[in-house]
Structure 1
């Protein structure tokens, strides 16, 4: 079992490390002009699979190079010191951006992290193993080189005797054994390690949050598109809500994949709340007027938490956003929202993710728990394993991941300093 991390201790340490650093006022925008006394920029090495228009490298790294809106305006207190780019497909931006901004590109991860020197001069590393021509396995997981990127990064730390913070875009893995190896390696080497989706910090429509320590009666999530690529985003959004229930998080003890009539049977027999499903569905933008019960592609990740809470994420192709509905014990009606993925200005939800990365690079500590991402990565891997094994229910002692969440804000409030 992974160790329990106590929120009050974490925040006390974080507040001390922040000192006088200010990243903006309580209602400020990530796109606002920098304050008069901006913190000095921290230098970053970027290790990426590909860098083309609207790739994850573009919507993160271009904000460092050309501002939050990619228009030459203000941006984060970060500078891009070097890049390692593995593939150069048609439409590649890496070479042009390297030349335009004077950012050297290197042929190995070690060279990028050392910037061609005999030490590690950068303040942090961003790993983006997303997009590109990589194989798929029998479970339909896209086998990006995330473990290899992290292994070569940490091998470089070991070789040169210096550790710096690492942010890993999306989830480690994608296979559980690789994700767990990465987590254990980070703990062994004391690497400040953070990962995750941009959507938990994105805009919510309508704007919705619940207090930490809520008495949560139930929750239902909805996701869309590919089970692997977007199932992770939807699970991260779901976990960002349910981790706030009373008692913090102890992890998940079983996972099962459902498809076909079994998806709707769990609603009809009351295993999952029909009221919460309908609330989540009503909050989600739809593709046409097709009833999801008529769509044979509908699927369900059903999982049970250690504390007995039921987790349910419906993957539907009749919608085009992720959503969550929750029911608090002291309220008569559920609350629900969807997570906005606005394309302009230049996918702003990635700006809010970059604000969290920026803070980590300045404080030297993860802005929020990597354990949340480890848990969602594990649920996803086990759901796809259950699917591959004909929907068998899987016991998951390896997912008994205990942690206490951090009350980090979502858009449009990315700059609130966490208080102890």
Structure 2
């Protein structure tokens, strides 16, 4: 296991050179090639802030970047704001009209070392639960069909939650397990800066936890659940999954605080950690909702989705401490959305080692909680028993972004 010191040294070093300087860096770090399968490639989309860093460096300024080379690209939808054609021409990357051709780079074999699948953004329909039906399962199916056809498996990263509907998420996980595909998925926010810095050691005696999220229930609710889970999975004895899930709103959601089912002190600490965009009592927020769930070990999860704030936070009480601790998961925009650099760092590590940097089961669990919460909302807040979410995994103490940003000049090559 890479130590935190090693990882931070690698981040500070910023890896190998950008795509334009790959040959110069190859002497010290062996480059790994990747195929990218993306829904859309426009400015500030996930494709831009992930694939753009492979092409143009961590800060997308033409300087240093990961020890990865983009070998091919598939783009599902092309708009008048498309960047893919411009970037492909600039960096001599072929664009293919099928996922199979992208994964094989137009050959009769699989020459790449990994695949990055980004089904986020673009013109895709919504279902009755408010889930945007991004083609993540289709992407993964065609990628893994190609693995089967050419008899080679390489690591795959799926941006955000697999699915997004539960049946698709579980299908993707099961197929990865069956084919022994090194598989990662998830949000950038568990890897971002924390304000203030907060690191919970595995095996901690966490007595209570409350999360706060904002914006759309599906897109941003997933980010908030990932932030919540990346901390509470470090509680003593975790993780064995979730027993039931419920969505509440209006008076019912605040009653859980008034009745003491969820700690008001922990909620207040989480609320104090995020900036407000509306004045007044948070209970007057007409669009607020609550994802409430109970783990199989009896631990209660509570994620308040508020439209009166514009960031994500988690607060917890630890045994023996009088007051809750809380942190905000920062979303910086400069330079070039750096929290995505730390996500890319974990992807790079998987492609170089052939092993996921952290368990995909965490993201499978958060995907299931989210899907069931949105189902409960559609069913007027019914509590849903969730035996399918008895997902066990062993958490990994993978580090998040250090407090300093990426502005420091690199002083050495990637440390591994």
Provide TM-score, normalisation by structure 1: 0.92
The alignment status of 1:73 with 2:63, answered yes or no, reads yes
Distance 2:399 2:87 in 1: 32
1:314 counterpart residue number: 304
2:100 counterpart residue number: 110
1:30 counterpart residue number: 11
Provide TM-score, normalisation by structure 2: 0.93
Distance 1:223 1:399 in 2: 22
- Partner SS, residue 230 of structure 1: helix
Q: Which of 163, 173, 187 is 1:173 aligned to?
A: 163
How far apart are 1:33 and its partner, in Å?
Answer: 5.0
The alignment status of 1:182 with 2:163, answered yes or no, reads no
Structure 1 residue runs without a partner (length 5+): 1-10, 16-21
How far apart are 1:39 and its partner, in Å?
Answer: 2.0
Distance 2:298 2:271 in 1: 24
How far apart are 1:24 and its partner, in Å?
Answer: 7.7
Structure 2 residue runs without a partner (length 5+): 17-24, 407-412
The alignment status of 1:159 with 2:140, answered yes or no, reads no
1:293 counterpart residue number: 283
Q: Which of 82, 96, 109 is 2:72 aligned to?
A: 82
Aligned pair count? 399
Distance 1:334 1:233 in 2: 22
CA contact (8 A) 2:11 2:414 kept: no
Distance 1:183 1:399, change over 3 A: same
- Partner SS, residue 30 of structure 1: helix
Distance 1:207 1:24, change over 3 A: closer
- Partner SS, residue 95 of structure 2: coil
Distance 1:26 1:85 in 2: 32
Distance 2:28 2:46 in 1: 26
Distance 1:337 1:133, change over 3 A: same
- Partner SS, residue 200 of structure 2: coil
1:337 counterpart residue number: 327
Distance 1:381 1:288 in 2: 28
Moved over 6 A (4+): 413-418
Which range is displaced more, 173-182 or 407-416? 407-416
How far apart are 1:205 and its partner, in Å?
Answer: 0.3
Distance 1:141 1:306 in 2: 26
1:8 counterpart residue number: none
CA contact (8 A) 2:158 2:185 kept: yes
Which range is displaced more, 348-357 or 209-218? 209-218
CA contact (8 A) 1:25 1:416 kept: no
Distance 1:23 1:389 in 2: 44
Distance 1:357 1:386 in 2: 33
Distance 1:24 1:216, change over 3 A: closer
